[in-house]
Amino acid sequence: MTDRQPLIGYFLSCEEYGVDELLEQAVLAEEAGFEGLWISDHYHPWNDEQGESAFVWSVIGALSRVTRLPVTTAVTCPTVRMHPAVVAQAAMTSHVLLDGRFRLGVGTGEALNEHILGDAWPPEKVRLEMLEEAIEVMRELWKGEAVQHHGRHYTVENARIYTRRDDPPPVWVSAFGPRAAEVACRIGDGLITMTPEGEVVDMFRDSGAGKPLAGGYKVAWAPTEDEGVGHAHRLWANAGLPGELAQVLPSPQHFAQASSLVTEESTRESTVCGPDTDRHIDAFKPFISAGFDEIYVANMGPHYADMIKAYGEKVLPALR
């Protein structure tokens, strides 16, 4: 591949799997040789077919008891559904439980999860302002002193985090467009994105001062390609939605309606499905060629144990 070996991690999808399955996947992933974990943070799944959406902070607490792998939220929105002061406490407690192996991945979120308290869904520019201020609030609280903050979007009154480590959790910023990439370059400790090329990656490489870059994607392991395509399309057709739809649709039912426009054939063309390990190996190559420091892969469908086993035996050794 290249002389520079990226970290290869496993992506835990809280929207699709129950808590016991998530913990099992984490244990299997560590045994197979994966080097880190991403975990999604949702209030709702993308659609009712996925059928799960556990509270991520409880799951992280359980993960701390069963794995030694580092854990990153991919990603948490610390702006609307949860006040940044609360996220700061949850993140620091996770950092303590994981003995310093926690990283907070953050982004501007989706209406799907953030509308539940009845708040209006802000435009992108305002969401980015809120994210910047939220990161400022959290970093102040992580210093362990009492914090008074009266900002444009948030107020904190004499708040202090007591259960803490001296080293704060790194904050990695998710970006799918140039405005978020600029925030990641300026105040993030790293960038999270889901595509190996394009304006976001180029901008971060040019202006990110050498900060690390992480990417991720999903595959559908199954005994046959056709079965894998069926699982991917039934569970994750939403991944094929264009533009801003993923940020503005307000419910799993709306995502199901929009996803009906995504064909099985487009899922087949865009997603690695089935048991061909050469195709699974090839899926990493664009990220590696683009110089990503970390790459995370998630499974779609019921065959996650077979996927993790095959990766441990064939895919991961081929990448190292």
> What pLDDT does residue 197 have?
86
Residue 3: pLDDT band (50, 70, 90) is low
Domain ranges across the chain? 7-318
Residues 143-169: pLDDT tens digits? 999 999 999 999 999 999 999 999 999
> What pLDDT does residue 208 have?
84
Does residue 59 have a cis bond before it (omega within 30 degrees)?
no
Residues 66-91: pLDDT tens digits? 999 999 999 999 999 999 999 999 99
Q: Is the pLDDT of residue 1 over 60?
A: no
Q: Tell me what the pLDDT averaged over the chain comes to.
A: 96
Residue 320: pLDDT band (50, 70, 90) is confident
Average pLDDT over residues 282-304: 98
Q: Which CATH class is domain 7-318?
A: alpha beta
Average pLDDT over residues 18-27: 99
Average pLDDT over residues 287-305: 98
Residue 2: pLDDT band (50, 70, 90) is very low
Q: What percent of the chain has pLDDT over 90?
A: 91
Q: Could you say which DSSP state residue 5 is in?
A: P
CA-CA-CA-CA torsion for 287, 297, 90, 111, nearest 10 degrees?
80
Q: Could you say which DSSP state residue 238 is in?
A: G
> What pLDDT does residue 28 have?
99
String of DSSP letters for 219-235: EB--SSHHHHHHHHHHH
Contacts of 242 (CB under 8 A, 6+ apart): none
Average pLDDT over residues 185-190: 96
**Cα separations in angstroms, 35 against 5, 61, 95, 239, 298:** 12, 19, 17, 25, 14
Q: What are the E-state strand segments in the chain?
A: 7-12, 37-39, 71-73, 102-106, 147-150, 155-159, 171-174, 190-193, 213-219, 294-299
Cα separation of 10 and 285, whole Å? 16
Q: Is the pLDDT of residue 195 over 70?
A: yes
**Cα separations in angstroms, 312 against 275, 291, 304:** 14, 23, 12
Contacts of 160 (CB under 8 A, 6+ apart): 141, 144, 145, 146, 147
> Nearest-CA neighbor of 38 among 304, 311, 296?
296
Residue 141: pLDDT band (50, 70, 90) is very high
Strand 213-219 relative to strand 155-159, pairing? unpaired
**Cα separations in angstroms, 34 against 14, 42, 316, 320:** 18, 24, 8, 12
> Nearest-CA neighbor of 288 among 188, 213, 176, 219?
213
Contacts of 45 (CB under 8 A, 6+ apart): 15, 16, 51, 52, 53, 252
